[in-house]
Amino acid sequence: MSEKNPFPNEKNSGHVWDDNLRELLNEPPTWWRIGFHLSWILVIVYTLVYPSWPMLTTHYKGMTGWTSIGEYREDMKDLKKIRAKYEDKLPNMSAAAILADEELSNYSVSAAKVLFGDNCSACHGAGGSGNIDYPILADDDWLYGGTIENIVQTISYGRKGFMTAQASTLSETEIDELATAIYSGNPTSTSLFTEKACFACHGMDAKGMHAMGSANLTDGIWRFAAKDQLASIKYTIKHGINDTSDPKTRNAEMPVFGSKLDENDIKKLAVYVHKLGGGQ
Amino acid sequence: MATAKKNQQDQESIDKLYEESIHWHVNTGDETIHAKRVPGIFRNLKHVGIMTWVIFFFGPYLRWNGRQAITFDIPNRQFHFFDITILPQDVWMLSLVLLFLAILLAVVTSVAGRVFCGYFCFQTVWTDMFTWIEEKLEGNPGQRRKLEKKPFLQRKLHIKALKHSIWILMGMLNGITFTLWFGDAFDIWIQFLTLKATPIAWTAVATFAIFTYLFAGFMREQVCLWLCPYARIQGVMLDTSTILPTYDFHRGEPRGHLKKGSSNNDQGDCVSCNQCLAVCPTGIDIRDGQQEGCITCGLCIDACNLVMDKIDKPRGLIRYMSLDELEGQELRPLYKRPRPIIYALIMSIALAGIIYGLTHLGSLELRVIHERQPLFVTLSSGEIQNRYELKILNKTEKRMYIEVQASGIDGMKIHGNEKIFSAKPGRLTSHTLFIKVAKNNLIKHRQTVNIVVTDRDNKEHSASYDSMFFSP
């Protein structure tokens, strides 16, 4: 091929296609060579400046000592500075005072969203929307009271409900009658309510007592909500709540968070929960 | 034998064709173009084009109601344009502005060629200013070429130094002016003069200064030929009705040198004086036809007209004309050309959108997000409660005190509007609202509720939003 090169005075490889297409042996362009040399120089500079080469037991740390975790910590410090304006005020204020302050309560709500997600929403659902067998926090039905102080106490010390299992003291028909009355929202309509001493916990008007955490039986909001609500009520009457003598008893226990979260986080959470819509 | 001869002839004619095609020479940067300056209509038009850049340099100093009239306030995410403040929520208007400008470029190019390149483009304008300074300091193109050929030490160093310092100063002024649009011009000047400007500002100035110096001082037409994307794009917007600087070869050819005292009738009007070449800022020969390097600035027309006047020939051997006209056809009027008509239509739609946007820029904006977790709750009283997150954007420069009202369902109770709350200027404020409705007032699972927010101090500042009320 090369002996028949039709362009003998040209720096080409001697490969010619279609009569005049040929491969030239020109140097690469200057800008390309400069770019190439700059690239490998940059590689060396980079590996010297930043942590790079692996060694036997450790790795080369780089001239500047930069690490990504270090940068992250620096950024977190900056974030803390921004938050300090609010965070510094929180320890000296009660949850009620924070709730009353528009700016601080807004800050608490945005801070508590994450706390709620980490600690509360597994049981109470995102946004306090509730779960099967766990209370809704967005409504205004509070077994232990819905004031900000009540909420702080509930989070800090937890709660454990109790109701005696009545399977041995009530007959099937009595349970039916009582459950039907409760389901209709008017438990006092049956004499069983007073005869069987339900009132002792649930109150004479059957509206529950916050001090004991007993349920309001008249409002149509069910702590243990179910598709067949009547059957669910019967079950609760029969087996009670946290009654150790009955293996089929219902469980209702709010764990203690006072040991897990610090006081400020609990205040923030209380403000958040109070603002979900049912705070009193 | 005869066929062999014919083949040879064919080959020769093809070779000739290729000879012509490689005749076109593009300056790949191996020589500096020193364009001559001649007076004329198009030189004046170019000056008019240059004057539009005065707005760029003096715009930031305009005051309006005690602040800068036009500011791109990036830190506060606001754009001030006289009385109008545009927040990020209104940037859809920006896309309409960009659409308008893009189509404007297209329609202008299809009607009158690359006039943007020739008269308004900053590359053209800055190059023109830089070469003007060069001419003032180093003399006319001939003198400049001579100076270039002198050995380095013999160059008039002080003149060169002065020229380059002026160029760099112009580049810096360009960069500083750019930064002035993003804040208060006087503050930024003080920051620069006291060396307290932000690193971003310094970087912007350095970048602008370096690239102005390189592009307008050294690369010049190379930018148009090898760097600029618009040069390529605008090329495809032309058609045979587009008017461009064109050499009338019917009249000019065959060209030849003018001999004193003899009138050669075989010769065309072109006297091969090469003045059109001498003045061209991109160094092309317009007589080779319309080509990539032509920025349609018309300076060759000025030069040719001067020569035609001198030799008593009519002007317009090179003139703005379309390919159709060159071939003896009538120029199609604008209204018979679908391209400008469609472009004009798109432009008016975009313009209508912009005008609508500017006149309907509310001072208050409201978005309502209905809480989904849970959609609704039943309260002890038996009422159904829905929770709404109100996002209120105060677009004015004053703090607003917001009242909330809601309507839509009989007997609805609103909770969370008892207190008037404040909305910071230029900021988004969220507010929670609860609506309670007794079960017997609910007709459907979903009912519309209308939420209205109003500024306590100015009832005209108001916004409304239709949301839903959900129930079991």
With CB atoms and an 8 Å threshold, state whether A138 touches B374. yes
Nearest chain A CA: its distance from B433 CA (Å): 9
Beta bridge partners of B71: B80
Q: Which amino acid is at B117?
A: C
Nearest chain B CA: its distance from A129 CA (Å): 5
Nearest chain A CA: its distance from B36 CA (Å): 31
pLDDT in tens, A165-211: 998 889 999 999 999 999 998 888 888 888 888 899 999 899 989 88
Half-sphere exposure of residue B74, counting CA atoms within 13 Å on the CB side? 6
Residues of B in contact with A216 (CB under 8 A): 380
The band of B26, judged by pLDDT with boundaries at 50, 70 and 90, is low
Half-sphere exposure of residue B30, counting CA atoms within 13 Å on the CB side? 4
Indicate if the pLDDT at residue B137 is higher than 80: yes
CB A196 within 8 A of CB A178: yes
Rounded CA-CA distance B219/B124 in Å is: 11
pLDDT in tens, A228-243: 999 999 999 999 999 9
Rounded CA-CA distance B234/B407 in Å is: 56
Locus of tokens 């509720």: B449
Q: Which amino acid is at A211?
A: A
Locus of tokens 């400007």: B197
Q: What secondary structure letter does DSSP report for B382?
A: S
The band of B260, judged by pLDDT with boundaries at 50, 70 and 90, is low
Q: What share of chain B is helix, strand, coil (3-state, %, to 5)?
A: 45, 20, 35
Rounded CA-CA distance A17/A268 in Å is: 78
Residue A140: name the closest of B189, B7, B383 by CA: B383
Cβ neighbour number for residue A87 with a 10 Å cutoff? 14
CA A149 → CA A159, A266, B145, B415, distances in Å?
Answer: 14, 11, 90, 21
Rounded CA-CA distance B451/A248 in Å is: 49
Indicate if the pLDDT at residue A48 is higher than 60: yes
Q: What pLDDT score was predicted for residue B317?
A: 93
Its pTM stands at 0.65
Indicate if the pLDDT at residue B20 is higher than 50: no
CB B421 within 8 A of CB A102: yes
Q: What pLDDT score was predicted for residue A28?
A: 86
CB A147 within 8 A of CB A280: yes
Residues of B in contact with A127 (CB under 8 A): 371-374
Nearest-by-Cβ selection for A277 from B372, B380, B434: B434
Residues of A in contact with B374 (CB under 8 A): 125, 127, 129-130, 136, 138
With CB atoms and an 8 Å threshold, state whether A221 touches B380. yes
Rounded CA-CA distance B12/B31 in Å is: 33
**Predicted ipTM?**
0.74
Locus of tokens 């005020």: A89
Q: What pLDDT score was predicted for residue A255?
A: 94
Taking CA–CA distances from A207, the nearest residue in chain B reads: B380
Beta bridge partners of B423: B400
